[in-house]
């Protein structure tokens, strides 16, 4: 019994240590960039020794990979959850509002995500993780459009729901690139809402009935 309790305490402590290292690394990576950060800097920011680091991660690359995957998984789940709130009907303006609130988290996340994109461009294994995250986002959008009742016909240029999902993610990519440069979060959020509404409706924000 005592051994089991000790094991649980050790496990909880290790989980907490790993979470603290990831949080500290997120702040350091966002501030300095992935290629400019050392293990020592992450340990100092988290308040741990190198031993604590190496008991959780083999390298800085592994930590960066785990950090991106953790945040990306959370965002994919939040997007899917935001799209599921309307029931069988889809209120496009409301859904767009919810999704943009989830997607446009903050500049720090966009900086880390951009670093990961550059890293992935040079490493095929890392690229697989990035591609899977993007595919999850597209699937969440496409599945929701496919299940919607009374939804307007998509613009012909988009093709089907998969085409619409690709367009949604592409719009997000474009808006966030601009956001990295001008740092205007509120304008970026408004712009993204306008783009997504125009993509998925007639541009008016209304939900006309599906054409028969």
Distance separating alpha carbons of residues 101 and 193, to the nearest angstrom = 10
The 10s digit of each residue's pLDDT in 43-57 is 999 999 999 999 999
Q: What is the pTM of this model?
A: 0.75
Give 204's DSSP letter: S
Nearest to 171 by CA among 153, 151, 150, 193: 193
Nearest to 35 by CA among 111, 128, 132, 129: 111
Packing angle, helices 107-121 and 124-147, rounded to 10: 120
The 10s digit of each residue's pLDDT in 92-151 is 788 888 888 877 768 898 999 899 899 889 989 888 888 888 888 888 888 888 877 556
Distance separating alpha carbons of residues 47 and 21, to the nearest angstrom = 9
């Amino acid at each position: 019994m005592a051994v089991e309790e000790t094991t649980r305490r050790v496990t909880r402590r290790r989980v907490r240590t790993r979470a603290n290292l990831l949080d500290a690394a997120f702040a350091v990576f966002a501030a300095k960039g992935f290629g400019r950060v050392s293990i020592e800097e992450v340990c100092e920011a988290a308040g741990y020794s190198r031993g604590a680091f190496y008991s959780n991660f083999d390298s800085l690359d592994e930590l960066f990979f785990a950090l991106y995957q953790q945040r990306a998984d959370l965002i994919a789940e939040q997007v899917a959850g935001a799209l599921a709130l309307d029931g069988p009907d889809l209120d496009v303006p409301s859904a767009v509002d919810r999704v943009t609130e989830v997607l446009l988290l903050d500049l720090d996340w966009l900086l880390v995500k951009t670093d990961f994109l550059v890293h992935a461009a040079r490493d095929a294994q890392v690229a697989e993780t990035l591609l899977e995250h993007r595919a999850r986002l597209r699937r969440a959008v496409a599945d929701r459009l496919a299940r919607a009742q009374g939804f307007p016909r998509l613009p012909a240029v988009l093709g089907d729901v998969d085409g619409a999902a690709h367009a949604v993610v592409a719009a997000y990519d474009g808006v966030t690139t601009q956001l990295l440069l001008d740092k205007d979060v509120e304008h970026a959020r408004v712009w993204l809402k306008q783009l997504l509404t125009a993509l998925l409706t007639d541009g008016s924000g209304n939900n006309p009935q599906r054409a028969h």
